[in-house]
Every structure is written in structure tokens, then in C-alpha cells.
Amino acid sequence: MNREFEAIYESLKDGVFTMAYRYLGDKQAAFDVSQDVFIKVYENLGKLPKGNEQKAYILRMTMNRSIDMLRKMKPLQRLPEGAEIGVAENRDTDEADEVAFLLSDLNPDQKTAIILKEIIGCSYEEIARTCETDIGTVRSRLSRAKEKMRETYLQGERHGH
């Protein structure tokens, strides 16, 4: 295996899988997206951006492929009942279900910003590059997403969920 590809794969495999899994809510679909993304990375190794742009480019590929797969999935397959959300196997299922519910209420831009910032741990700059926007827009999307998640959570609390 090519050393450059190996380095890219090792540094981004968890982030790519996590992003796909957060979008899709299905481990097998997330593995499929991850595999597709890394096949494209390998096939286009010489054409990939270098440095800071590379991570953003690959995460954008992941986001786009996940969205494409979501469109093809039947609505009931998007978040299977009891689906675990996240990479950690020891996560509490109720908490995972709550996170999935809160994320499902966001628009795609907000969802992407939250996944990149809070789950993958990207900086504002990395999110801006990935989403092809400016830092101010990223901050705005994050703020709106957090507010919407807070409102959704509080509504659920009032209704006994």
C-alpha cells in the first residue's frame, strides 16, 4: 500500500466513519460510505489537495457521499430503532437515541457544522474549508444549531421524553 495513502487513511478513518455514521445512523451504510471515500482517495492520490485543504476535501467527499446515500435510503431506514450513534461502543443507548433525535431536527448545514465541530473536533477554519464557506457563517450555523437542539430538547422534557 502507498505510504501517502496509508498516512491519510490512518489520520482520517475515524473522522470519515463517524461523519458518515452520524448522517446515516447505520453502521453498514457508514462502512460503505467510508470505503467509497477511501477508494476515491486512493484513485485520485496525485490530484488531492495538500496540507490543510486535504482533510477538508476528504470530509466534504464524505458528507456528499453520505447525503447521496441518504437520498437513496428509504425513510424508515435512516435511523433504525435502537441505532447507536457514535464510534464509542460503551455509549449509553438512550443518550445515543437522544443525540440522533436532536440531530435529525437540524437542516443539513447545521447538522454538518455540529458533526464536524462537536463530534469530529474540527476547528472553525477546517469546518469553513469543508463547507466551502466563511468562519462567520460557520459560527452562525453552530449557534443556530445549538439553539434549535436546545429548544427540541426542552420541548421533549416538557412532554415527558
Blockwise average pLDDT, block size 10, the chain, 161 residues: 90 94 90 97 93 90 90 55 44 64 86 89 92 95 93 76 55
Question: What integer pLDDT is reported at residue 74 of this predicted model?
Answer: 53
Alpha-carbon distance of 23 to 25, in angstroms, equals 6
- Show me where the domains of the chain are located: 3-158
**From the CB of residue 131, how many other CB atoms can be counted at a distance below 10 Å?**
19
Closest CA to 78 of 86, 89, 88, 66: 66
Alpha-carbon distance of 83 to 99, in angstroms, equals 11
CATH architecture of 3-158: Up-down Bundle (1.20)
For residue 116, the number of C-alpha atoms closer than 13 Å in the C-beta half-sphere is 29
Question: What integer pLDDT is reported at residue 94 of this predicted model?
Answer: 64
Cα dihedral: 126, 131, 133, 139 (round 10)? -70
pTM (predicted TM-score): 0.69
Question: What integer pLDDT is reported at residue 93 of this predicted model?
Answer: 56
Question: Phi/psi of residue 85, each to 5°?
Answer: -115, 120
